[in-house]
C-alpha cells in the first residue's frame, strides 16, 4: 500500500518517455522539463518500486529486463488514465486532451488539411500530436502504445487493432509535358509496356503497390532513381526521368495547373489505395474513436467525393 501511495502518473509517464526515447536528454526535451528533474523523478520511482529501470552506460542508457517487463503495464496505465479523463470530458462537455496520431507521409499532409478544421470546430479542445511514418512502422507503434490511433493505408495485419475504413483513393498517371504519351487523348495499359516508372523508396507500402502494378502491365520500375517523397518524385517526372503514379489527394493538393505535368487515368487499370482510421481494440476511448471515424467519413463524403471514393460509395458499388 505504501508503494502504491508513493507512485504518481507523472513518474510513470516520465518512465515511458525515457524508455521510448532511449535518452534522458531527449525525453526531457519531449516532456518540456529539465534533465535533472527527470533524473530525480526516475530515481525516486526506482526507489519506490525497488527495481532498477535503466542501465546507465557511457554510450547512453538501456532499459533493464525488469524495466521492459513493467513498460507494457505502464503504457496501459497511462492509456486508462487518458481514457478516464476523456470519458469525463465527453460527459461534461469539456476538453478532450491531446492524442498521438500517426499518419503515412503519402497521405497525412494531403488529407489532414481537409479534416482537422471541421474536427476542431466540433471538438474545440481536441488536439493531435502528429507523427509521420511508413504504414508498417505505424502499425507496430500503435500496438506498442507509441500512437493512440493512426491514419494508414491498408492492409493492417494485427488482430489487436480495430480498422475503420474511410475511403478508397485512386492513383493517377503523371507524365512530363513533352512525353510521347502526353498528347494522347486516351491512354491505355498497353501504352505503358516497357515504360520506365519512378516510385518512392522501397520501405513504403506505396513502392510495393507501384512495383506490382508495373509487373502487371509490363512497365519497368527505375530502381536507380527512387524519390524520397512525392514532391521529389513529381520533380523527377517533370525532368523527364520517367513516368509515375501519384495519389489523387496529392494531385488535388499540389498540382494546380497543367503546365508542368499531364495527369491522366489509364484505361484498363483500376489501381487504388484503401485508407482507414485504426486503434487498439483495448483502448478505453474506442467509442470516441468510432465517432471520430464517422465524422471523417462525413467530411470526405461532403468535401472530397470528387477526388476519392467514400466508404458509402464503395458499399453501393459492391451491392
> What is the tens place of the pLDDT at every residue in 266-294?
998 888 999 999 999 988 888 889 999 99
Average pLDDT over residues 139-151: 91
Position 319 pLDDT exceeds 50: no
pLDDT, position 144: 86
Position 183 pLDDT exceeds 80: yes
Find residue 220's DSSP bridge partners. Answer: 196
pLDDT, position 91: 60
SS3 308: coil
pLDDT, position 72: 85
Model confidence pLDDT, tens digit, residues 10-50: 999 999 999 988 889 888 988 889 999 999 999 999 998 88
Position 57 pLDDT exceeds 70: yes
Q: Are residues 257 and 172 in the same domain?
A: yes
Rounded CA gap, 307 and 194, in Å? 29
The helix (run of H) or strand (run of E) holding residue 166 is: strand 161-176
Model confidence pLDDT, tens digit, residues 256-270: 766 778 999 999 888
pLDDT, position 163: 96
Q: Are residues 191 and 263 in the same domain?
A: yes
Instruction: Dig out the grid coordinates for 237 from the structure.
Output: 517526372
DSSP secondary structure letter of residue 218: T
pLDDT, position 270: 83
SS3 266: strand
The helix (run of H) or strand (run of E) holding residue 232 is: helix 230-238
Is residue 289 included in any domain, yes or no?
yes
- Between the alpha carbon of residue 284 and those of residues 69, 80, 116, 149, 158, the distances in Å are 22, 6, 23, 12, 18
Q: Which residues of 56-85 are buried (b: 16+ CB within 10 A; e: fewer)?
A: eeeeebebbeebeebbeebbebbbeebbee
Is residue 82 included in any domain, yes or no?
no
Q: What does pLDDT average to over the chain?
A: 86
Q: Are residues 149 and 99 in the same domain?
A: yes
Q: Are residues 66 and 189 in the same domain?
A: no
Q: Are residues 186 and 236 in the same domain?
A: yes
Is residue 238 included in any domain, yes or no?
yes
pLDDT band at 1 (very low <50, low <70, confident <90, very high): very low
Q: Are residues 195 and 148 in the same domain?
A: no
Domain, as residue range, for 107? 93-167+275-318
Is residue 32 included in any domain, yes or no?
yes
Q: Are residues 149 and 176 in the same domain?
A: no
Find residue 175's DSSP bridge partners. Answer: 262
Model confidence pLDDT, tens digit, residues 59-103: 778 899 998 889 888 888 888 887 787 777 666 655 567 889 999
For residue 259, count CB atoms less than 10 angstroms from its CB and return exposed for 0-12, middle for 13-18, buried for 19 or more.
exposed
pLDDT, position 208: 84
Is residue 215 included in any domain, yes or no?
yes
Position 192 pLDDT exceeds 80: yes
Is residue 83 included in any domain, yes or no?
no
Residues 280/156, Cβ–Cβ less than 8 Å: no
pLDDT, position 318: 43
Average pLDDT over residues 182-196: 90
Which stretches within 166-204 are classed as H helix? none
Q: Are residues 294 and 161 in the same domain?
A: yes
Model confidence pLDDT, tens digit, residues 223-247: 777 777 888 889 989 888 989 999 9
Residues 289/266, Cβ–Cβ less than 8 Å: no
Is residue 98 included in any domain, yes or no?
yes
Tell me the helix, strand and coil percentages in the chain, rounded to 5: 50, 25, 30
- Give the rounded percent of residues in the chain with a pLDDT score beyond 90: 37
Q: Are residues 249 and 123 in the same domain?
A: no
CATH code of the domain in which 264 resides: 3.40.190.10
CATH code of the domain in which 53 resides: 1.10.10.10
Position 169 pLDDT exceeds 90: yes
Q: Are residues 242 and 297 in the same domain?
A: no
Number of domains in the chain: 3
Average pLDDT over residues 183-193: 90
Is residue 84 included in any domain, yes or no?
no
Q: Are residues 161 and 279 in the same domain?
A: yes
pLDDT band at 298 (very low <50, low <70, confident <90, very high): very high
Q: Are residues 173 and 238 in the same domain?
A: yes
Amino acid at each position: 500500500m505504501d508503494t502504491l501511495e508513493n507512485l504518481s502518473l507523472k513518474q510513470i509517464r516520465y518512465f515511458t518517455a525515457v524508455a521510448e526515447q532511449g535518452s534522458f536528454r531527449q525525453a526531457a526535451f519531449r516532456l518540456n522539463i529539465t534533465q535533472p528533474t527527470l533524473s530525480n523523478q526516475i530515481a525516486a520511482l526506482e526507489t519506490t518500486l525497488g527495481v532498477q529501470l535503466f542501465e546507465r552506460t557511457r554510450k547512453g542508457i538501456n532499459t533493464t529486463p525488469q524495466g521492459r517487463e513493467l513498460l507494457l503495464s505502464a503504457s496501459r496505465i497511462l492509456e486508462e488514465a487518458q481514457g478516464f479523463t476523456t470519458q469525463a470530458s465527453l460527459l461534461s462537455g469539456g476538453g478532450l486532451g491531446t492524442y498521438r496520431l500517426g499518419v503515412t507521409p503519402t497521405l497525412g499532409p494531403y488529407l489532414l488539411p481537409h479534416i482537422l478544421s471541421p474536427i476542431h470546430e466540433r471538438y474545440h479542445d481536441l488536439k493531435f500530436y502528429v507523427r509521420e511514418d511508413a504504414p508498417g512502422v505505424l502499425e507496430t507503434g500503435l500496438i506498442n502504445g507509441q500512437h493512440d490511433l493512426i491514419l494508414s493505408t491498408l492492409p493492417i495485419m494485427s488482430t489487436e487493432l480495430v480498422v475503420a475504413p474511410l475511403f478508397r483513393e485512386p492513383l493517377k498517371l503523371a507524365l512530363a509535358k513533352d512525353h510521347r504519351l502526353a498528347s494522347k487523348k486516351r491512354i491505355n495499359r498497353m501504352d505503358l509496356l516497357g515504360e520506365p516508372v519512378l516510385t518512392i523508396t522501397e520501405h513504403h507500402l506505396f513502392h510495393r503497390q507501384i512495383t506490382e502494378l508495373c509487373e502487371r502491365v509490363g512497365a519497368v520500375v527505375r530502381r536507380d532513381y527512387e524519390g524520397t517523397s512525392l514532391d521529389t518524385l513529381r520533380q523527377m517526372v517533370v525532368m523527364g526521368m520517367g513516368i509515375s503514379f501519384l495519389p489523387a489527394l496529392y494531385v488535388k493538393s499540389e498540382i494546380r495547373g497543367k503546365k508542368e505535368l499531364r495527369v491522366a487515368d489509364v484505361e484498363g487499370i483500376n489501381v487504388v489505395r484503401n485508407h482507414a482510421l485504426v486503434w487498439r481494440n483495448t483502448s478505453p476511448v474506442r467509442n470516441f474513436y468510432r465517432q471520430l471515424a464517422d465524422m471523417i467519413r462525413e467530411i470526405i463524403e461532403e468535401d472530397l467525393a470528387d477526388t476519392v471514393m467514400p466508404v458509402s460509395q464503395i458499399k453501393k458499388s459492391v451491392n
